Structure 1
Amino acid sequence: MTYPPRLSDEQYAALVSDIKDWQITHGSLLKLVHTDEENTVQCQPVGTTFFPTLFPRALFDEAHALQTAFNKLYAAVAEDDEWLLDVLRDLIEVDDLASALWEIYSEVKEEGFVQDLTLGIFRSDYMMHVDSKESLRRPELKQVELNTVSCAGGVHTNIVSDMHRHLHRTGAYHSAQPPNSENLITRSSDLPPNSTLKTISAGLAAAHKAYGPAKSQGVTETCILFIVAADNFNIADERPIEYALWDESIPSYRVPWGHEVLIHTSLSPTRELLYRPASRSNAMEVSVVYFRTGFEIYEYDDIGRMGRLQLENSRAIKSPSILSHLTGFKKVQQALTAPGALERWLTPAEASMLSRTFAPMYPLDDTSSGQHAKKLALDPETASNYVLKPSLEGGGHNVYGAEIAAFLQHTPEELWKSYVLMEKINPPLLQNFMMSSRGLYEGPVISELGIFGVCLWKRVQNGESAQAEIVSELNPSWSLRTKDASVDEMSVVKGYGCFDSPALVDWDVFMSAVKA
């Protein structure tokens, strides 16, 4: 059995043309922001696969079923500042971003919280894993990471998923070359619809509704603020969310990070966040602040810190809050894999369900676990089975395999504790065609499934501690990214990875395709 289907040269040429037309007409694009042209918009297509990539239906369903427990876990951790400080203390000492975020949180806490609600827009990323010693076994899900801030790619995947479904219904995937192998994409239910745009916008709308009417004297209207990067190449993944909110009569505005925040927003005496758009004479009250940037240390100069502090000090619902932002750090992910850690917030059944997806992770500190990890990392032979990860967002910062030892030897040892060591995930290899800024590719690929979880929770004070109470929760949605199996990075922007969608198949079909 062969997948993808074998097409003729003419069919492939037509498929490439159809994909390019879809990308142009549906905004599957990255904006080129540093150009000399004033009277045009320059952009390039987002990387995409030609065909949906095979994915076991059972694992796809399992990943969705896990998200409710992950929502509960990360909401609870985001309200447990005592536990977070204990986990992040070493990192705060050496990592400027962690230090900046914790300082802002400490100032807000000292001032006193005026908003108990937080909106979580999470993306839990998984890869399939097969034990290298038992290659004939069915793969299982292993979590790569859980993202809590600026979870991108949802709209891009939505567009690519719709494209694959369209190409399927037009017959573009039907092979005319004999011998024709079994057509695995035989019915539309094998290509699950993607609703990530609707899910994210509905989550923001729910938070907006929960905020209620304007509370500041003399202000009658509320709005949502998107905090974005100034030179934003990824507007096609952000703007549709704004447009969807406007379609629901929810005013939504973009404010670039930093100086623009201080120019256009202010706090009322009772700490409502007021926004003055250039198109209006009257101020609006901000119901929700949605961060699509703010995860790089260079953003936290004096102006950036002042802007984030003002937003955090306000009555607006944050997505994410400072503490929720911090829960996305790799040190937190590593700490949650420790035996018994999850039971602090979850039932034994929930903890067992989530822990099965954890790959072994270790700190690089002075604990016994950290000393063990250092031995693994400094030996090129054992290090070949690991990835060294810093607590940074955005990809491209990891160190892989045999390169780890040399990297650590050239890094001051006091900085090692800002890294975690994670055992490599060993995914099965599949076949696909990809088109990206690096050109056309045909060959083995690896996929990463992202599950978007959206929930609104309330901080409930219990003496000196606080707990999270889930107020509302949406059905999860998904994204899929696929890369050339020979490269380590999944970055779509750099052309290594592409947006994709799954062709859901039963185990026998999937295992047959992997063996082939």
Structure 2
Amino acid sequence: MAYPPRLTDEQYAALVSDIKDWQITHGSLLKLVHTDEENSVQCHPVGTTLFPTLFPKELFDEAHELQRVYNKLYAAVAEDDEWLLEVLKDLIDVDDLASALWDIYQEVKEEGCVQDLTLGIFRSDYMLHANPTESSQRPQLKQVELNTVACAGGVHTNVVSDMHRHLHRTNAYRSNHPASSGDVNIGSSSLPPNSTLKALSAGLAAAHKAYGPAKSQGLTETCILFIVAADNFNIVDERPIEYALWGESIPSYRVSWGHDVLAHTSLTPTRELLYHPQSRPIAVEVSVVYFRSGLEVHEYNEIGRMARLQLEKSRVIKSPSILSHLTGFKKVQQALTAPGALQRYLTPEEATKISRTFAPMYPLDDTPSGQHARTLALDPNTARNHVLKPSLEGGGHNVYGEETVAFLKQTPEELWRSYILMEKIIPPVLNNFMMSSRGFYEGPVISELGIFGVCLWKRVQDGEKLRAEMVSELDPSWSLRTKDASVDEMSVVKGYGCFDSPALVDWDIFMSVLKA
């Protein structure tokens, strides 16, 4: 069976033109922030696939069902600072970002936390794993990572998903070539609607409502504060969330990380956070702080630390809290794969479901597991089957395959423990067309499915320990990114990857296309 559909040259030209028009009229763009044109706005289109990519419906549904368990797991871990410290203590000694975050948490803890609610906006990323020795075996879901801070791509994918559904409705994918019985025909029911923008704004709105009325004397209005990067090129993935909140009569403002946070916010004696807009003389009390920056080590200079500390000390509901931020470190992901780790937080049934998505992962420390990992990483014959990952957000930081050997030999051994070693996921290869800043591509591709989980939980005392009690939870939503199969990085910003949407099919069709 063949997919994507085989179009004529004229149809391809019309399809590309339609996609470009959609991108312009729906803001599927990245802003160019360093230009000399003062009286214009310069942008370039976000990378996109021309066709939705085939994906097994059973695994798409499974990933959605798993997200509620992942929400429960990561909320629980975020309230267990003893376990987190045990997992991260070696990293805190050698990693400046982990050290900065933990120091801020310790200072806040000493003064006493004044907000028990946390808003989680998570994105669990998966690839399909196909056993290379069993061509007839169905692929499985394997988790690449779980992100807990500044989870991006939701709005971009929403726009691309809507585009693919529109193109399907207008018959842009219907081939004028003579009909072939071997072509896969995708129906409209195979293209799931995307509600990520709605889910993100609804989650922030729920936290805003949970905060309640203003508590500062003389103030009546509350707002949500977005903490963003200066010279932000990715406004299209952020601004629509802000606009949606304003549409629900929830004031929402943006403040750049660092100096602007200190210049435009203040704490009351009872630790309410006040925002002082330049556009009005009266302060507004902040209900929720939503971090879309603050995930890079260079942001934690003296000013950056002071800004994060002020926000963390305040009464606002954070998304994420600093402990929830720390749960996104790769060391935590690896530690949760250890025997018995999941049972600390989940039922046996939940732990079994989650563990099936784990690829083998190892620390690079002095434990027996770490020594085994070092042997694997330093032998070219075994290193080629693994990926070396630091505890950093975003793409471009990993070391792949045999390059690991030379990388570790050039890295001081005391820094090795800041990495984890993960067995490579072997994804099935399909075909598609992509348009990105790197040009036009036709050929083999692999995809990564992201599932957004949005939940609000409360820290409660349970004897001598704290635990997370779920207050509200939204239905999961999704994103899909696709890249050239020969490239390791998935970065959409760099043009290696593209936003995409799935065409959901049953196993017979999916396996037939793989074997074609």
Cα shift at 1:182: 5.1
Matches within 5 A, 1:247-286: 247-286=247-286
Matches within 5 A, 1:208-223: 208-223=208-223
What SS class does the counterpart of residue 508 from structure 1 fall into?
helix
Equivalent residue number for residue 233 of structure 1:
233
Equivalent residue number for residue 110 of structure 1:
110
Q: Matched residues in 2 for 1:112 and 1:310: separation?
A: 13
Equivalent residue number for residue 125 of structure 2:
125
8 Å Cα contact 2:186-2:503 kept in structure 1: no
Cα shift at 1:465: 2.1
Q: Matched residues in 1 for 2:284 and 2:182: separation?
A: 58
Q: Matched residues in 2 for 1:185 and 1:205: separation?
A: 40
Equivalent residue number for residue 366 of structure 1:
366
Equivalent residue number for residue 437 of structure 1:
437
- Structure 1 residue runs without a partner (length 5+): none
Render the CA deviation track for 1:175-196: whole Å, top value 9, x for unaligned: 0112435553442110000000
Render the CA deviation track for 1:316-344: whole Å, top value 9, x for unaligned: 00000000000000000000011110000
Note if 1:355 corresponds to 2:355. Answer: yes
Matches within 5 A, 1:35-74: 35-74=35-74
Q: Matched residues in 2 for 1:81 and 1:61: separation?
A: 33
1:442 maps to a residue whose letter is: E
Matches within 5 A, 1:183-222: 184-222=184-222
2:336 maps to a residue whose letter is: L
Change (3 A) 1:268 1:381: same
Cα shift at 1:296: 0.5
Q: Matched residues in 1 for 2:181 and 2:458: separation?
A: 54
What SS class does the counterpart of residue 126 from structure 2 fall into?
strand
Matches within 5 A, 1:4-19: 4-19=4-19
Matches within 5 A, 1:488-503: 488-503=488-503
8 Å Cα contact 2:275-2:283 kept in structure 1: yes
8 Å Cα contact 1:185-1:503 kept in structure 2: no
Q: Matched residues in 1 for 2:122 and 2:186: separation?
A: 32
Q: Matched residues in 1 for 2:219 and 2:101: separation?
A: 31
Equivalent residue number for residue 82 of structure 1:
82
Instruction: Point out the more displaced range, 171-180 or 2-11.
Output: 171-180
8 Å Cα contact 1:5-1:181 kept in structure 2: no
Q: What TM-score comes out, normalization by structure 1 length?
A: 0.99
Equivalent residue number for residue 304 of structure 2:
304
Equivalent residue number for residue 478 of structure 1:
478
Q: Matched residues in 2 for 1:354 and 1:284: separation?
A: 42
Render the CA deviation track for 1:325-369: whole Å, top value 9, x for unaligned: 000000000000111100001000000000000000000000000
8 Å Cα contact 1:124-1:145 kept in structure 2: yes
Equivalent residue number for residue 385 of structure 2:
385
Q: Matched residues in 2 for 1:349 and 1:452: separation?
A: 22
CA-atom RMSD in angstroms: 0.7
1:401 maps to a residue whose letter is: G
Render the CA deviation track for 1:30-71: whole Å, top value 9, x for unaligned: 000111110000010000000000000000000000001000
Change (3 A) 1:413 1:13: same
8 Å Cα contact 1:6-1:180 kept in structure 2: no
Q: What TM-score comes out, normalization by structure 2 length?
A: 0.99
What SS class does the counterpart of residue 216 from structure 1 fall into?
coil
Aligned residues: 516
8 Å Cα contact 1:68-1:453 kept in structure 2: yes
Equivalent residue number for residue 427 of structure 1:
427
Render the CA deviation track for 1:271-295: whole Å, top value 9, x for unaligned: 0000011111111100000000000
1:232 maps to a residue whose letter is: N
Render the CA deviation track for 1:59-100: whole Å, top value 9, x for unaligned: 000000000100000000000000000000000000000000
Q: Matched residues in 2 for 1:351 and 1:450: separation?
A: 20
Cα shift at 1:490: 0.3
2:496 maps to a residue whose letter is: Y
Q: Matched residues in 1 for 2:463 and 2:301: separation?
A: 35
Q: Matched residues in 1 for 2:185 and 2:57: separation?
A: 13
Q: Matched residues in 2 for 1:240 and 1:142: separation?
A: 31
Render the CA deviation track for 1:213-257: whole Å, top value 9, x for unaligned: 000111110000000000100000000000000000000000000
8 Å Cα contact 2:128-2:425 kept in structure 1: yes
Matches within 5 A, 1:451-466: 451-466=451-466
8 Å Cα contact 1:378-1:404 kept in structure 2: yes
Q: Matched residues in 1 for 2:272 and 2:183: separation?
A: 58
Q: Matched residues in 1 for 2:218 and 2:488: separation?
A: 55
What SS class does the counterpart of residue 306 from structure 1 fall into?
helix
Equivalent residue number for residue 318 of structure 2:
318
Q: Percent identity, aligned pairs only?
A: 82
What SS class does the counterpart of residue 366 from structure 2 fall into?
coil
What SS class does the counterpart of residue 262 from structure 1 fall into?
helix
Q: Matched residues in 2 for 1:231 and 1:167: separation?
A: 33
What SS class does the counterpart of residue 435 from structure 1 fall into?
strand
Equivalent residue number for residue 294 of structure 1:
294
Render the CA deviation track for 1:194-217: whole Å, top value 9, x for unaligned: 000000000000000000000011
2:307 maps to a residue whose letter is: G
Cα shift at 1:393: 0.6
8 Å Cα contact 1:228-1:291 kept in structure 2: yes
Q: Matched residues in 1 for 2:57 and 2:156: separation?
A: 22
